Amino acid sequence: MVNSCTGKMGHATAEAVVRAGLPFVPYSFTGSSEAVAVGNVGVSGIPVELVAPAERQSAMERLKAQFPGLIIIDFTLPSAVNDNARFYAASGVPFVMGTTGGDREALIRDVEAAGVSAVIAPQMGKQVVAFQATMALMAENFPGAFAGYRLEVTESHQRSKVDISGTAKAVVESFRQLGIPFSEAGIRRVRDARTQVSMGVPQAHLGGHAFHTYRLVSPDESVAFEFKHNVCGREIYAEGTVDAALFLAAKVAQGGPPRIYNMVDVLREGAMR
């Protein structure tokens, strides 16, 4: 089940679920205004009924009975992250949280307290996750390697992305461990179309892209390192999310104590189609 299919990321993920041949739940929790304004939606020719907040409790009970082994995928809004996670956890339904933002520490605490398994990650793209994990390993093995260097971080996303990239935040944390004092406030967030085009974002992908650049410069400016990952479209995230859902379903089926996983766990298990 994908919440919310009215959003571009949610819709792309729902299409990826169908492409993968998985049993797709034709319901989607959404905001009350979306349910009224949009009505039902279609995903790859499948009608999907939108469920408003006032109806989600009763709908959840019906869905749990109708779809044993239900897994929820969340691509809603940053402002809804914590409330949605508490609702899924209280309902005893494992979920994949692909939505960024919200209070992440509270998110982890609430899910752990409820005893529900989940995949929670700020980044669902397989190769980007591998890059992010590589940076974390570098930081773990070579702490302070870039001490004294200056860091410049630029992240460009479509205008509708209201929060700072969770991936950028995670990579910045690795650079901090590598010896560079850098605040998240220093991340340059680009949402202006003209600037994005000048950065190389194709016009066709202004509405859906992720261009990140991390540039490090030595104190005397004689040495520079640059790490970059540019993504056009949403397919890389949608496909990775499907892998995460399959991974989570397998873990739940195996039994054992509930756990919170991330996409690195999915990568390490080789659970990537």
Taking only the tens place, the pLDDT of each residue in 212-231 is 999 999 999 999 999 999 99
Q: Which residue has the higher pLDDT, 39 or 132?
A: 132
How far is the C-alpha of 54 from the C-alpha of 147, rounded, in Å? Answer: 52
Where do you find CATH 3.40.50.720 in the chain? 2-116
Catalytic residue among 8, 11, 126, 161, which? Answer: 161
- What's the pLDDT at 100? 84
- What's the pLDDT at 34? 56
| Edge-to-edge strand list for the sheet holding 27-29 | 27-29, 46-51, 41-43
CATH 2.40.110.10 assigned to domain 126-233? The reply is no
**Token pair in block for residue 4:** 């919310």
**CA dist list (Å): 87 to 36, 53, 61, 261:** 22, 11, 12, 18
CATH class of the domain defined by 2-116: alpha beta
Catalytic residue among 126, 157, 209, 251, which? Answer: 157
Where do you find CATH 3.30.360.10 in the chain? 126-233
Q: What is the pTM of this model?
A: 0.82
| Catalytic residue flag (residue 229) | no
